[in-house]
Chains A and B, each alone.
Chain A
Amino acid sequence: MEILMCIIAGLLFAAAVYLMLSKSLLRIIIGTGLLSHGTHLMLLTMGGLKTGAVPVLGEHASAYTDPIPQALILTAIVISFGVTAVFLVIAYRAYQEIGTDNMEQMRGMETDD
């Protein structure tokens, strides 16, 4: 299962990178969303899958799944949500001010105009 999940995470990474390399700003943001999903799945996989009960002591199980990656992922989810929210608003404002979402037109260099 872990091997399969690694491949899935790799596919998510590949899709995310492909989207991030495109010219449209919205696709780039969607790409970062996919990238964080891939990362979270990878984190969970590395902790080992299905090796025990839900990490709540009330279960009285003999073995529990590793709680540490779950805590890490929880933190990561919240942070990536915050970043995505900011990114989206920046995209919205940039479109409002500049009038384009084509990354090729949003170039920082004055000399190349």
Chain B
Amino acid sequence: MSLLHWAILAPFIMAVFVPFLRKKAATIHTGWFVLILPVVLFGIFLQYLPVTMNNSSIIQTASWIPSLGINFTAYVDGLSLLFVLLITGIGALVVLYSIYYLSKTKESLHHFYVYLLMFMGAMLGVVLSDNVVTLYMFWEFTSISSFLLIAYWYNRDRSRYGAMKSMLITVFGGLMMLGGFLVLSIMGDTFSIRELAAQAPELNNHPLFLLAMILVLLGAFTKSAQFPFYIWLPDAMEAPTPVSAYLHSATMVKAGIYLVARFSPIFAFSGYWFWIVGAVGLFTMLWASFNAVKQTDLKGILAFSTVSQLGLIMSLLGVGAASLHFESLDDNIFTTAVIAAVFHLINHATFKGSLFMVVGIIDHETGTRDIRRLGGLMSLMPVTFTLSIIGAFSMAGLPPFNGFLSKEMFFLSMIQLMELNLFNVETWAVLFPVMAWIGSVFTFIYSMIIVFKVFTGKFQPEKLEKKPHEAPVGLLVSPSILAVLVAVFGLFPNLLSYSLIQPAAAAIVPSIIPPGEHLDVHISFWHGFSPELWMTIGVITVGILLYKFMPKWTGIYDYFPGKVTLNQFYNSGLYAAERGSNAITNAYMTGFIRSYLVYIFAFFIAALGFAIWAKDAFRYDASAAAPIGLYEVSLIFVLLAATITILLAKSRLTSIIALGAVGYTVSLFFVIFRAPDLALTQLVIETVSTALFLLCFYHLPKLSRHEEKRRFQAGNAIIAAGVGIIVTLIGISAHSSKLFASINEYYIENTYKKAGGENMVNVILVDFRGFDTLFEIAVLSVAALGIYGLIKLRLEKGGETNENE
């Protein structure tokens, strides 16, 4: 266990102490104690920056289950460090924000911070694990803690619904991903991602390669809310706003992005990867930005915008996979996509985090997030207004903010795709920039909605629950820091180039970088009138026009019928699954013992009958059989007559007597077949049983042949006949194929010599196999005690016992 491991586990350890802090130091907001941890962790992880800038990495291993090759291996390279800094940095800001957002008295803070710390630790574990099993473990921890956080206000229906939906979808993906990991580890015979990546070329030709890839991608797509799995994210907005800002914009939803980036060295050479990741990402971007425009809830807009931006990053990662097909680094234009993906990842975390916090402030200060009730807040909340302008303009891709730069690089990568002549891209290549451009237009529109519908227009105080005013300074600190970062990264993007972006990009596409060299990451603010600049200008022009005339064209949303949405599909699917399984269970769990016996016997007949037929197991060989004598035949007739009497008896007395007759005939059989002890026991026991039957006879009702339909009886008869036939067949086959001699010689020889007895059966019962007899005695005792209890003990409904005489 190194410092790195303790850093990952620190949030979990801290989470244990949070409830105590809440009790001991009740006067201070618990968040202040929690805040220390992410700040310290951020500081610790900053120290790794020089290491990753040299494109080297750190590996620390702690044994967990060494015999299975499952170790807690922490691995720091550019990609993990980027995520770690996002998690701890934004984590610190979110905790700070939550201190002012959540009331000390009204909310159960200890729950909140325990869940949040669990989540933080889990996220650190996900991005720092090198072992796929530990990665999966932390992955599910994020799902669970996110579930707890979404349902933080658990007495609201919508919260519980959203939490369950996100749980079902992300856990589904998580399980698929586990399957993918296992397939991968079988293919590569290791659980370590680095070692898997090292044998990527061999894995590429493995027959299970595609299966592993699709399973891992399912995990990534569900977590990162890609089409069609994005539907949980808008419903997860029921969580407290700090949670939305942290989990659903900056960290958890990027776990899928991380997964795709981390596994790029393994999968990315495949054309499927390029197509699936690229196309799903791009379509998600277009679809979600289109849908974001029609939302009326601010957090709804932000949720869809998150989905759309994640799609953008995902598509860049997919397109970046093309770079692996070019040997030389100098003219490899597709590395732009990878760099753009990493850059936009950072940008999105900053501006989306700040936007969520801004929306939280608006909600906090006005009591609503509905854009139809908001308006004209500019003069009342000037600081919030400024922050939202910075965030939203960056999101829309306007200069001078960082979103502009990454959007330009996004366009550039999509345009460059037209030069690619791989994977049949040529025919479709033109669609990529077009879809990207349309998606960006919608992104522009909803970004403008966030700013201008809320802060300009008519102020409607009568629709607001509270009297709006500027937020306290504490709430504004975190979004301000993020907004400053948005602007700084926008104006000086090269602060990031070699510190964070280059090492992360190198981790995503390691194979194309010769040892000792660096990717050339230089983000220039201005590079002349290039096509991507014209595209941005087009986005702004068309976006402004569409925004101005919004009421004229929003009617097209009505053409999308409400019944065929994915949510509707999810809900009705869930409903149908519940109803369906309920119907199936009700259909076969009838509660009637006869049905279950029918299943059991039918299965018995089918399984054994099939086995006899399939294995050709039936044998008939009567040569070893004893001759048939007269006594036996006459006894058989008696037995059959008694049995038929039971079947046809109308009164219970007849059937009891007939059962007794069967028992006595059986004991006569024992006499003929030379089993005196059996005959004796059978006689006594049959007498006692018949006596017992007759005792109950007085109390039991007249053998009422409950009217049974003919078909019912016929079905019973068929099953009964089947069981009889199968038993007979097995008996005959078993008798006809004796495989080895009996061991009875030993008993015959040693009954007197060793045990000192002459009656072999009795010696076997008490000497050779005395244990059986011991427990048979136990059975009888238990039966006797049970009968006594059944008769004596009366438990009334209230649970009281009373002794009835």
Contacts and interface: CB of A to CB of B under 8 A. Distances in A.
Interface of A: 1-30, 33-34, 37-38, 40-42, 44-58, 64-68, 70-71, 73-75, 77-79, 81-86, 88-93, 95-96, 100-104, 106-109, 111-112
Nearest 10 A/B pairs, CB to CB: A14-B724, A10-B728, A6-B731, A109-B591, A82-B783, A18-B720, A67-B760, A107-B591, A17-B720, A55-B760
Contacts of B689: 33, 81, 84-85
Contact of B597 (A20, A37, A41): A20
Interface stretch (B222-230, B339-347, B764-772): B764-772
A30 B655 contact: yes
Contacts of A84: 689, 692
Contact of B673 (A10, A44, A68, A100): A44
Given A22-B716, A56-B759, A68 B791 contact: no
Contacts of B786: 86, 89
Contact of A21 (B632, B720, B725, B732): B720
B688 interface: yes
Contact of B706 (A4, A67, A86, A102): A102
B591 A88 contact: no
Contacts of B672: 50
Interface stretch (B97-105, B320-328, B620-628): B620-628
A16 B652 CA distance: 16
Contacts of B647: 15, 18-19
Nearest to B652: A26
B783 A83 contact: yes
Interface stretch (B291-299, B429-437, B746-754): B746-754
Interface residues of B, number: 98
Nearest to B628: A1
Contact of A37 (B652, B655, B662, B744): B662
A75 B731 contact: no
Contacts of B643: 11-12, 15, 34
B593 A103 contact: yes
A42 B717 contact: no
Dominant secondary structure of chain B at its interface with chain A: helix
Contacts of B701: 95, 100-101
Nearest to A93: B790
A40 B666 contact: yes
Contacts of A11: 640, 643, 724
B279 interface: no
Contacts of A26: 652, 655, 700, 703
Contacts of A14: 720-721, 723-725
B428 interface: no
A12 B719 CA distance: 13
B752 to A, nearest CB: 5
B577 interface: no
B677 interface: yes
Residue among A17, A37, A49, A79 with the highest chain B CB neighbour number at 10 A: A17
Contacts of B617: none
Contacts of A18: 647, 716-717, 719-720
Given A13-B724, A18-B720, A54-B674, A42 B589 contact: no
Nearest to A33: B659
Nearest to B666: A37
Contact of A74 (B628, B666, B681, B720): B681
Interface in B583-612: 586, 589-594, 597-598, 601
B639 interface: yes
18 contacts: A6-B731, A9-B731, A10-B728, A12-B639, A16-B720, A21-B598, A21-B719, A22-B594, A30-B646, A30-B656, A33-B663, A55-B761, A70-B675, A70-B678, A74-B678, A74-B765, A81-B780, A82-B780
A28 B760 CA distance: 36
Contacts of B592: 103-104, 107
Contact of A9 (B620, B728, B760, B780): B728
Contact of B589 (A21, A30, A75, A109): A109
B591 A112 contact: yes
Contacts of A50: 626, 672-674
B50 to A, nearest CB: 68
Contact of B678 (A77, A95, A108): A77
Nearest to A113: B591
